[in-house]
Amino acid sequence: AQSVTQLDSQVPVFEEAPVELRCNYSSSVSVYLFWYVQYPNQGLQLLLKYLSGSTLVKGINGFEAEFNKSQTSFHLRKPSVHISDTAEYFCAVSDRGKTSYDKVIFGPGTSLSVIP
Amino acid sequence: EAGVVQSPRYKIIEKKQPVAFWCNPISGHNTLYWYLQNLGQGPELLIRYENEEAVDDSQLPKDRFSAERLKGVDSTLKIQPAELGDSAVYLCASSLDPGGGPGEQFFGPGTRLTVL
């Protein structure tokens, strides 16, 4: 069964510094990949997704992620973080099916804290 | 456009009591999800509906949990009887799946359940 690992449970970073949040998934079969963000007391919202095509995916708020099939990774990056980026970030994966897709599996999350 | 609406936002009950959560998805979204989110963890799928059909309920504890999505619009998730371990946030999400992969999921704010 598919699983998602987010190695860093907490990532503190100074404002305007770059950040990378790591995500690895277990299966090497064809997958769909997502990053969601959850601000305090709010629901999750999509940052970006990889369905097919270019392995470098750009999302909202200046975030981007790169799909690496050989390393089964989908790391999230931002060159310069802002205080407002403080939130919980979830990586998610879904296996491709022949006619549909398998359920979306979420990782345990990484708490990003931006320090002024 | 209104987002995913969930009610109640908070619920405190004693163990062995029944409880129900309601979700109204974004208009026109064919797929509806119920997730359970424990503190410090990612969402875990309980059930997924495509229109009125439950296409994935493999993670729903059917001895005490039930769900319905009448007319393929809003949905209710019920627990009867509740146990202490059911304390968590229950998230509802909806998506408009274009085919060829899972669509962006839009999440509601969740219902925080506390079982005493």
B71-98 residue pLDDT tens: 889 999 999 999 999 999 999 999 987 6
Pure H helices in B5-113? none
Q: Tokens 């079969």: give the residue.
A: A29
Contact B2, B74 (CB under 8 A): no
Q: Report d(CA B14, CA A103) in Å as an integer.
A: 32
Res A57: pLDDT: 95
Q: Which of A9, A43, A108 sits opposite B109 (nearest CB)?
A: A43
pLDDT grade for A58, boundaries at 50, 70 and 90: very high
Cβ within 8 Å, pair B101-A94: yes
Contacts of B106 (CB under 8 A, 6+ apart): A43, A45, B3, B4, B25, B26, B29, B93, B94, B95
Residues of A in contact with B110 (CB under 8 A): 43
Q: Which of B9, B4, B6, B5 shows the shortest CA–CA distance to B113?
A: B9
Does A77 score more than 70 pLDDT? yes
| A31, closest residue in chain B (CA to CA) | B101
Q: What is the CA radius of gyration of chain B?
A: 14
pLDDT grade for A97, boundaries at 50, 70 and 90: low
Does A2 score more than 90 pLDDT? no
Strand B44-50 relative to strand B31-37, pairing: antiparallel
Sheet strands (E) in B1-116: 5-7, 10-13, 19-24, 31-37, 44-50, 53-56, 65-68, 75-79, 88-95, 106-107, 111-115
Residues of A in contact with B100 (CB under 8 A): 51
Does B100 score more than 70 pLDDT? no
The greatest distance separating any two alpha carbons of chain A, rounded to the nearest whole angstrom, comes to 48
> Most A CBs within 10 Å: which of B26, B47, B107, as the mutation test of the A interface?
B107
Cβ within 8 Å, pair A46-B104: yes
pLDDT grade for A51, boundaries at 50, 70 and 90: confident
Q: What is the mean pLDDT of residues A56-83?
A: 95
Res B9: pLDDT: 95
| A47, closest residue in chain B (CA to CA) | B104
Does A9 score more than 80 pLDDT? yes
Give the mean pLDDT of chain A: 91
Strand A31-38 relative to strand A44-50, pairing: antiparallel
* Cβ density class A15-52: b for 16+ within 10 Å, e for less: eeeebebbbbbeeeeebbbbbbbbeeeebbbbbbbbbe
Cβ within 8 Å, pair B93-A90: no
Strand A87-95 relative to strand B5-7, pairing: unpaired
Cβ within 8 Å, pair A109-B102: no
Q: Which of A9, A44, A108 sits opposite B107 (nearest CB)?
A: A44
Q: What is the mean pLDDT of residues B106-111?
A: 94
The per-type count for chain A, helices as H runs and strands as E runs, is 0, 12
SS3 B72: helix
- The dihedrals phi and psi of A58, each to the nearest 5 degrees, come to -105, 140
Contact A64, A54 (CB under 8 A): no
Q: Which of B41, B105, B109 sits opposite A42 (nearest CB)?
A: B109
Q: What is the mean pLDDT of residues B5-29?
A: 96
